[in-house]
Chain A
């Protein structure tokens, strides 16, 4: 799966990280860090995490 983050739009609220902490995390500056090669079985969680974003800054393309 391919995960793209619009860092301009990302507000550092961490809602994605609550849904899929295996893949998303905020660093100390509230900048979003994304795991480089998430396991394929996490795809549903990643899609749910993208949906939880208040500004829709995350897009996901399934493999």
Chain B
């Protein structure tokens, strides 16, 4: 197969996941063109995804082996663009902050932020729910966790949008540069005046040999945690609401039995996860996979939303069904780079859905179902806006 696909174009123009399902029936792996015009292999099938996500012949350290595949040229993104054993050494520094116990302790704050935002909506109205809720909620939570002052939080939405759904490689790199510069300043300020938050802890953290993190490493950490820590949840929540509102029988089932909320979150992750595509890997040697040869030095990424609809795994993959006891998805990836923040994402989504349904017995799309617009992004799966009509009374 020689056709090269443009995922961003597909994402904006059609039901991407169904289109990918049609492609995946014949090809477990396809060629795609990235924003910077680089061509990469893109894995679609669940079997190949599971096989290759833990394959040591694929390296995340594109800076060392294929600099043209880097997210931002010359700027190695902490954890995402690292290989073991170094990756695990850094990850251990932050894993406690995202462990079960730590995430449970965040629950009251997540509930508080959620209620404050919902209070602002009043008794009834129509708003873009992304603007009013799904964007600010996780941003507040991750900024609190890391220790980003409240007055600094305004530019984050633009940076996040330009990084994950940029119109061009230049726009993406400019936003990443601004974010990185901000983080350098933030780390500097926290070195001067130590704070009790995750960035404060990272500044104080020491490896076994007594060494600590450099300003550049700390800024890269801050940047990746800030962006990955809110943009993904923003879009996951919006996608989950969109699916529930366009599948009224599923919404009714959830309203009738609220213990299904966890399953609803898992099904939203499976059906239309927000972190649609992984970062690039580079082949360290020739690899035979899915009937093709990935040559040494070629880039490979994983389209998790395709794997999660794979007909080989389940025949009814294109059906949104919160009744599934196990959604069995790879929305958070698999293997050494399995999502650091998955517990926080799940908890935020669960709390938010619960509080939104409690608050608004009336909740419906503010535009006809076919008229929502999907982001033209090959990285993040999400909506440009989610207009919702809501009321505290049943209408």
Query: A residues bordering B, Cβ < 8 Å?
Result: 9, 11-13, 15, 18-19, 30, 48, 51-56
Q: With A9-B92, A12-B100, A19-B54 known to touch, is A53 a contact of B334 (CB < 8 Å)? A: no
A13 to B92, CA, bound (A): 13
Q: Is the CB of B85 within 8 A of A54?
A: no
CB neighbours of B54 from chain A (8 A): 15, 19, 48, 51-52
Task: Check if B91 is an interface residue, CB within 8 A of chain A.
Answer: yes
Q: Is the CB of A54 within 8 A of B336?
A: yes
A11 to B56, CA, bound (A): 21
A52 to B87, CA, bound (A): 12
Q: Is the CB of A11 within 8 A of B88?
A: no
Task: Check if B335 is an interface residue, CB within 8 A of chain A.
Answer: yes
Task: Check if B381 is an interface residue, CB within 8 A of chain A.
Answer: no
Interface of B is mostly: helix
Q: Is the CB of B88 within 8 A of A15?
A: no
Task: Check if B207 is an interface residue, CB within 8 A of chain A.
Answer: no
A13 to B100, CA, bound (A): 10
Q: With A11-B95, A18-B334, A48-B54 known to touch, is A54 a contact of B88 (CB < 8 Å)? A: yes
- 7 nearest interchain CB pairs? A56-B88, A52-B335, A52-B54, A11-B95, A55-B92, A55-B88, A54-B336
1/0 per residue, CB under 8 A from A, across B296-338: the answer is 0000000000000000000000000000000000000011111
Task: Check if B99 is an interface residue, CB within 8 A of chain A.
Answer: yes
Q: Is the CB of B338 within 8 A of A55?
A: no
Q: Point out the residue from A9, A15, A51, A56 that lies within 8 Å of B338, measured CB to CB.
A: A15
Please give the distance in Å from B200's CB to the nearest CB on chain A: 21
Please give the distance in Å from B277's CB to the nearest CB on chain A: 19
Q: Is the CB of A53 within 8 A of B336?
A: yes
Q: Point out the residue from A11, A15, A30 that lies within 8 Å of B334, measured CB to CB.
A: A15
CB neighbours of A56 from chain B (8 A): 84-85, 88
Please give the distance in Å from B51's CB to the nearest CB on chain A: 10
Please give the distance in Å from B284's CB to the nearest CB on chain A: 14
Q: With A11-B99, A30-B100 known to touch, is A54 a contact of B337 (CB < 8 Å)? A: yes
Q: Is the CB of A54 within 8 A of B100?
A: no
Query: B residues bordering A, Cβ < 8 Å?
Result: 50, 54, 56, 84-85, 87-88, 91-92, 95, 99-100, 334-338, 340
Q: Point out the residue from A15, A51, A54 that lies within 8 Å of B91, measured CB to CB.
A: A54
CB neighbours of B338 from chain A (8 A): 13, 15, 54
A-B pairs with beta carbons under 8 Å apart, 8 shown: A15-B336, A15-B338, A19-B54, A51-B336, A52-B334, A54-B95, A54-B335, A54-B337
Please give the distance in Å from A6's CB to the nearest CB on chain B: 9
A47 to B273, CA, bound (A): 30
CB neighbours of A54 from chain B (8 A): 87-88, 91, 95, 335-338, 340
A55 to B56, CA, bound (A): 15
CB neighbours of B85 from chain A (8 A): 56
Given contacts A15-B338, A55-B92, 9 further A-B contacts (CB under 8 A): A11-B99, A12-B99, A12-B100, A15-B54, A19-B335, A54-B88, A54-B95, A54-B335, A55-B95
CB neighbours of A18 from chain B (8 A): 50, 334
Please give the distance in Å from B205's CB to the nearest CB on chain A: 14
A27 to B54, CA, bound (A): 23
Please give the distance in Å from B154's CB to the nearest CB on chain A: 33
Considering only CB atoms, which chain A residue lies closest to B85 in the complex? A56
A12 to B102, CA, bound (A): 13
